[in-house]
Amino acid sequence: MSIEIRSIGIIGAGQMGNGIAQVCATAGFDVVLHDVSEDRINAGLATINGNLAKLVGRGAMAEDERRVALERIAAGPGLDDVGRCDLVIEAATENEEIKKKIFIALCPALKPDAMLASNTSSISITRLASVTDRPERFIGIHFMNPVPRMQLVELIRGIATEDPTFDSARAFITALGKTVTTAEDFPAFIVNRILLPMINEAIYTLYEGVGSVDAIDTAMRLGANHPMGPLQLADFIGLDTCLSVMQVLHEGLADSKYRPCPLLVKYVEAGWLGRKTNRGFYDYRGEKPVPTR
């Protein structure tokens, strides 16, 4: 029997977490948003408020709908605050050890029938579930970035995930107005297994001097009809996230074709992580982005 989901706890109020909170609240779910500090929670709430205000400005949402959606989102400074929810989604940084620590700390705060999910874009759902007290109620729910705009959600079962958990997760995603695709629990699932090696290859193309940043992005935008070039997309995703996904692929599948490009490693080591740090393959500090190579 599937579990009825009415309330959603979200751990991580960053780009992914606040996007998930926004779509859940807009779809009528009660949301509790948690992060390591109240400042981060408040920043997440401010982002949601701004995003909803833009929708009102464009005529895509009524002002009273915006107000009602915001009222559905509560700050949850403690893990006990999210523990009372029907489904808790972890949307922390893409680091397996950090995610496992969160789940170990969270489990004692959960009500017995609560479901757990990770928004990981690449890490084994089976391994994450193994540190919890409810692997049969654990599932991967991978939202795409930016969450409010992207239609797809990947659902990934761990080896222990039971049918009611999967059925409830699918019903929840459908209620958000998103489309579900189901992936097996292999490194990076479907979207990132295909997308990130393409981005990595674009970085190799730059590294080997085949083309400049501008040449590569123009070629893929106009030659392959991609909405944005792969290096522009890498900056949008975050170069640290791109590197961590490539490392998961390389370690998990032991195939040299997934070796992260040394230039990607160098940019991450420099702290040039893309848009979020104002520099990556483009420099975002001026009026318009300028290629850095």
The verdict on whether 250 is a catalytic residue reads: no
Is-above-0.75 flag for pTM? yes
The verdict on whether 212 is a catalytic residue reads: no
User: Which tens digits make up the pLDDT trace of 101-124?
Assistant: 999 999 999 999 999 999 999 999
Rounded Cα gap, residues 32 and 17, in angstroms:
11
Q: Which of 7, 124, 154, 168 is catalytic?
A: 154
Residue 115's beta-bridge partner residues?
87
The verdict on whether 256 is a catalytic residue reads: no
Kindly report the number of other CB atoms within 10 A of residue 68's CB atom: 13
Beta strands in 35-178 (DSSP E): 73-75, 87-90, 115-118, 138-143, 152-157
DSSP 24-45: HHHTT-EEEEE-SSHHHHHHHH
Quote the pLDDT of residue 1.
63
- Which helix (H) or strand (E) element contains residue 8? strand 7-11
Q: What is the largest distance, in Å, between two alpha-carbon atoms of the chain?
A: 57
Quote the pLDDT of residue 28.
97
Quote the pLDDT of residue 3.
78
CATH number of 192-291: 1.10.1040.10
User: Which candidate, 42, 68, 73, places its Cα nearest to that of 56?
Assistant: 68
Domain boundaries, the chain: 7-183, 192-291
Q: Which of 51, 118, 121, 124 is catalytic?
A: 121
Which positions ≥6 away from 60 have C-beta within 8 Å?
none
The verdict on whether 225 is a catalytic residue reads: no
Q: Which of 122, 142, 168, 244 is catalytic?
A: 142
Do 132 and 7 meet the contact criterion of CB atoms below 8 Å apart?
no
Q: Which stretches in the chain have pLDDT values below 50?
A: none
User: Which tens digits make up the pLDDT trace of 167-212?
Assistant: 999 999 999 999 999 999 999 999 999 999 999 999 999 999 999 9
Do 217 and 258 meet the contact criterion of CB atoms below 8 Å apart?
no
Quote the pLDDT of residue 91.
98
**7-183 and 192-291, same CATH topology:** no
- Amino acid at site 254: A
Do 273 and 263 meet the contact criterion of CB atoms below 8 Å apart?
no
CATH number of 7-183: 3.40.50.720
